Chains A and B, each alone.
Chain A
Amino acid sequence: DTEVTQTPKHLVMGMTNKKSLKCEQHMGHRAMYWYKQKAKKPPELMFVYSYEKLSINESVPSRFSPECPNSSLLNLHLHALQPEDSALYLCASSQALAGYYEQYFGPGTRLTVT
């Protein structure tokens, strides 16, 4: 089973709201990722967790706050977002952080900021 699940599928939030995106995998993978994808563009990396520790933060604004409660779960907490943050947010996982392993993506959360 190579399934990564994400909830919710769609999210509409105002600029003053606080919300969270959730991601789960049960493949025993030790690396998990958040990507952001705008229309007709490839995914862009936001954060990487390796063995539940934040490994990479690609200079993402502090209004995005990641959390890895355990090896299977990854959250992305959202606060005071801007309309330009509207995008498809993708979670992915891989066996480990080494470059040889493929990453498996979830279906994404379509976020709209009003």
Chain B
Amino acid sequence: EDQVTQSPEALRLQEGESSSLNCSYTVSGLRGLFWYRQDPGKGPEFLFTLYSAGEEKEKERLKATLTKKESFLHITAPKPEDSATYLCALNQAGTALIFGKGTTLSVSS
């Protein structure tokens, strides 16, 4: 059974304190691993797609990486506006996204 597990559930950082979020997955044939950001009461915002182990993508202070079992979302020198819930998801057999439960990031100044 395809599964996605995110850790930690919650993460509190000081502004400028870099860290990483983890997404562990099991899937029979990875088609794509997706990262989303979701602000309270809003729809998820697409960040990255990773297709194969070793792939990396960057956007501003965020960098996503992929291995055969895990993906990491590295946040470098975060700012308060980076506070949100970050969701990792797999696409199950070309249909629904299977989401992890998310990591809620809080960055204080």
Interface, chain A (partner B; CB < 8 A): 2, 4, 6, 33, 41-43, 45, 48, 55-56, 58, 88, 90, 92, 97-108, 110
Nearest-neighbor residue (CB-CB) of B48 within chain A: A102
Q: How far is the CB of B33 from chain A (nearest CB, A)?
A: 10
Please state if B95 and A55 are interface contacts (CB–CB under 8 Å).
Answer: yes
Indicate whether A99 sits within 8 Å of B92 (C-beta atoms), given known contacts A90-B43, A105-B43: yes
Chain B 31-60, CB within 8 Å of chain A: the 1/0 string?
Answer: 110101000011111100101000000000
User: 6 extra interchain contacts, Cβ-Cβ under 8 A, other than A42-B102, A102-B49, A105-B45?
Assistant: A6-B43, A45-B97, A97-B95, A99-B31, A100-B49, A103-B34
A-B residue pair count with CB separations less than 8 angstroms: 65
Residue in chain B with minimal CB distance to A89: B43
A43 touches B99 (CB 8 A): yes
A105 in contact with B95 given A41-B101, A42-B102, A99-B31 (CB within 8 Å) = no
A43 touches B97 (CB 8 A): yes
Q: Give the CA-CA distance A58 to B51 in the complex, in Å.
A: 26
B interface majority secondary structure: loop
Chain B contact-residue range equals 20 to 34
Give the docked Cα–Cα distance between A29 and B94 (Å): 15
B35 CB → nearest A CB, Å: 10
Minimum Cβ distance to chain A for residue B85 (Å): 9
The chain A residue with its CB closest to the CB of B43 is A105
Interface residues of B (CB under 8 A from A): 31-32, 34, 36, 41-46, 49, 51, 87, 89, 91-97, 99-102
- Which residues of chain A have C-beta atoms less than 8 A from B34's C-beta? 102-103
Closest to A46 in B: B96
> Hey, which chain A residues are within 8 Å of B44, CB to CB?
43, 90, 105
- Inside 8 A of B41's CB, which chain A residues have their CB? 88, 108, 110
Alpha-carbon gap, A46 to B31, bound state (A): 21
**B101 nearest in chain A by CB position:** A42
Contact of B32 among A33, A41, A42, A100 (CB under 8 A): A100
